[in-house]
Amino acid sequence: MDILKILGQFFFFIVGLSIQGFGLNGVFQAGASKIDITPPIGTKIYGNWVQPSAKHIHDPLNAKCLVLDDGVSKIALVVVDVVEINKRIIEVAKDFVVAEIDFDRENILVSATHTHSGPGAMGDEYLPDDAHLNQYSQFLARKIADAIIIANNNKEPAMIAWGGIEVDDYVFVRRWIMKDSVYSPYGTKDIVKMNPGFLNPQSLKPAGVVDPELSFISVKALSGRPISVLANYSLHYVGGVPKDEISADYFSLFGDYLDDLMSEDVLFPRFVGIMSNGTSGNINNLDFSKEAEGHPPYVKMNLVAQDLAAKVFKALQEVEYQSWVPIDARQSMIRLKVNRATPEVMANVAKIQARPDFQKPYYSRYEKMYAQRVFAMEANWPDSIEVLLQAFRIGDLGVTALPFEAFSQMGLELKQKSPFKDCFTIGLANGCLNYLPTPEEIDMGGYETWPTINRVERMTSVKVTEALLELLDDLK
């Protein structure tokens, strides 16, 4: 009986390979959507040292979705123009979707672009599974679900291609090793400083490397009409936005410029250009080895977005579209210890809290703000948390997703060790746990490694990389 069972399983395995090889699972389909999620004027803007209330909306924020369906499996890749999204909000959005249409929740990826001129979606808080969402977060969960449902409704027979090009003009390591150590707001000493200033004589060298690849997935209808392009670039954001204005930054502008290039006539459904954030936790668009550039508000982000769109459009003329590829997804949960403040830090922040406001700060003008963050995290966060990791197969392309602002070293390692020919990572996906430096970077200190900014244990980047590679191996 066991032999018959084994022979039967082998038979179906061979048949399955043959079916996938000839694309007989079904017709390959794709659909995309874009839905407005802009909050009202007066909303707090996150992403900077202070959180002002919005006085102006420069351009709308959106949730954009690409659904891919190979006839057996389908996935939804959602990118949202907010600073960060708490895992609880995303799970509520997934609840809506699986209750209303036929979709596996494990096959849904939701990420934030990390525009620094948009709202935070309760990302600084630890929320249990039954936590109540504030008004905007409830609205956002519903809109994310709507974006997935609309993209699924928009599915049509399609062709797909993917690729990558190197664009190193706009990505620079923002962490620099300094000649002398510098104090953190917690009274500890770092040898690395974030954004040390242009041509700073105290700066020795960048503390890391960049990932210059601009990856993309392109789908178009059988008629040739473009449906969507989902790009991925490890650039934190561009900025240049007045502090009290809402903007989707270069992420949305990239889609707009690509739309102009792709859609010569008025088409329906409209083309949807999407830019996702990669592994950019230690990367920005400022080259501190040179003199500072001067740009009026919004100019630099337009220059970057327009150039990236033009480069992707040019690359699309060379790619080969396929009428069918296998689609699949895997996910896993790993438990991580929370990065607790050391006794030294706790003693220092207690001293900081007791300092009268009129007295000169001990270490930094923001030290009281950071002290409050430490106390809040100590009071509200558990000792360990579960983290959702995902991996997707799109033909011979692997896509990984993690809920961190991961350092570029992680993205490069995943690309190097991936079993797939092409691979990229979407950051700030399925939650927001802030920065994920490598252990070596943590030991050097700097903003991204501080308690509450780096929220999980020292070896997390190693554990997450290993877990994602296991998922990719399983998909392959």
Segment 318-354, tens digit of pLDDT: 999 999 999 999 999 999 999 999 999 999 999 999 9
- pLDDT for position 18: 41
Look at residue 335 and give its three-state secondary structure. strand
* Position 48 pLDDT exceeds 60: yes
CA separation, residue 321 to residues 144, 152, 219, 221, 339 (Å): 29, 21, 8, 11, 45
State the pLDDT confidence band at 270, using cuts at 50, 70 and 90: confident
What pLDDT, in 10s, does the model give residues 6-33? 444 344 334 344 444 444 458 999 999 9
What residue spans define the domains of the chain? 28-172+206-336+383-475, 341-380
Backbone φ and ψ of 231, nearest 5°: -105, 165
- pLDDT for position 10: 42
- pLDDT for position 94: 98
Cα–Cα distance for residue pair 165/421, rounded to 1 Å: 14
- pLDDT for position 5: 38
Whole-number percent of the chain with pLDDT over 90: 89
* Position 421 pLDDT exceeds 80: yes
Burial of 237 (0-12, 13-18, 19+ CB in 10 A): buried
Neighbours of 325 (CB within 10 A): 19
- pLDDT for position 25: 57
Look over the chain and give the mean of its residue pLDDT values, rounded to a whole number. Answer: 93
Q: Which is higher by pLDDT, 129 or 466?
A: 466
Neighbours of 103 (CB within 10 A): 20
**Encoded tokens for 363:** 């270490």
State the pLDDT confidence band at 3, using cuts at 50, 70 and 90: low
Half-sphere exposure of 77 (CA within 13 A, CB side): 34
What pLDDT, in 10s, does the model give residues 160-203? 999 999 999 999 999 999 999 999 999 999 999 999 999 999 99
State the pLDDT confidence band at 128, using cuts at 50, 70 and 90: confident
